[in-house]
Amino acid sequence: MAKRIDVSGLNAYYGSFRAIEDISMTVEPRTVTAFIGPSGCGKSTFLRTLNRMHEVTPGGRVEGKVMLDDEDLYGAGVDPVSVRREVGMVFQRPNPFPTMSIYDNVAAGLKLVGGKKKSEMDDVVEKSLKGANLWNEVKDRLGKPGSGLSGGQQQRLCIARAIAVEPNVLLMDEPCSALDPISTLAIEDLIGELKERFTIVIVTHNMQQAARVSDRTAFFNLAAVGQPGKLIEIDDTERIFSNPSVQATEDYISGRFG
Ligand SMILES: Nc1ncnc2c1ncn2[C@@H]1O[C@H](COP(=O)(O)OP(=O)(O)OP(=O)(O)O)[C@@H](O)[C@H]1O
Ligand SMILES: [Mg+2]
């Protein structure tokens, strides 16, 4: 099958510190891939190399190759801003623009691109909020600030904002860690729906969540603090949770460390 994402020989640094070492993996279109592994093993760092966010950190540097379909994301002349439009991101803490209305939060990315009429904008906002399963809860208060929503609603607002620009890939870094169990299940259901249109990569510390939402699971680990994180194995989620190839994976998922 065609690969949506194809990473080879990827290293990422903060100054002279190498945070992740020699990562290679592929991700197929319209699948959910979960990244699991102990704190500090480089899951967030790696995720941010997939949409050129890593280099925004001072000292942040990447070596290696990330292909998105036929495009080399680190190729000469590639505009990081357009990469971030193609590869959207949802963060651990819901981060709606606090002074902006619900409507403007969803429309923010589109306004940057420009060229949409008000009626077109209205359609995209409605479609995105429906896509994020938030429309019914907010349709009567689109002009109110996004910060006035509950945590779970804010996270769905951030998902609506991310999908409004029609990315190919959606990266989610522990999107449920600040949410209650009901909102968490709502987001998990939503991930199941979104994968029909998007390719999703999600970092999670919740093993049940990884098992519930993902098709593929990648386990990362580090030999010791100060050592770079490595990809230990990636396989079908069912296999990772029933019969992983590497002992360290088994130990991690059964809670023996991490
Ligand atoms: N801005 C930064 N400057 C310097 N080092 C950093 C920075 N961000 C992360 N690191 C280091 O890079 C390594 C990987 O961090 P990263 O945040 O990617 O891990 P993680 O797997 O996402 O951890 P967690 O599960 O706790 O979120 C760690 O050693 C961390 O201290
Ligand atoms: Mg992290």
Q: Is 43 in the pocket of ligand 1 (CB under 6 A)?
A: yes
Distance, CA of 233 to CA of 228 (rounded, Å): 15
Region 149-168: mean pLDDT is 95
Region 57-71: mean pLDDT is 97
Q: Ligand 1 mean position to 44 CA, how many Å?
A: 7
Ion ligand 2 neighbours, Cβ < 5 Å: 44
Which atom of ligand 1 sits closest to the CA of residue 41? Answer: 21
CA dihedral over 189, 158, 32, 237, signed as positive or negative: negative
Contact 32, 215 (CB under 8 A): yes
Sheet of 71-72: strands edge to edge?
71-72, 60-68, 5-14, 17-27, 229-236, 216-222, 32-36, 199-203, 169-173, 87-90
What residue's CA is closest to ligand 1, atom 9? 45
Taking the CA of 49 as reference, the closest ligand is: 1
For position 258, what pLDDT does the model report? 53
Distance, CA of 129 to CA of 187 (rounded, Å): 13
For position 111, what pLDDT does the model report? 87
Q: Ligand 1 mean position to 120 CA, how many Å?
A: 40
For position 1, what pLDDT does the model report? 56
| pTM for the whole structure | 0.95
Residues 6 or more apart whose Cβ sits within 8 Å of residue 75:
none
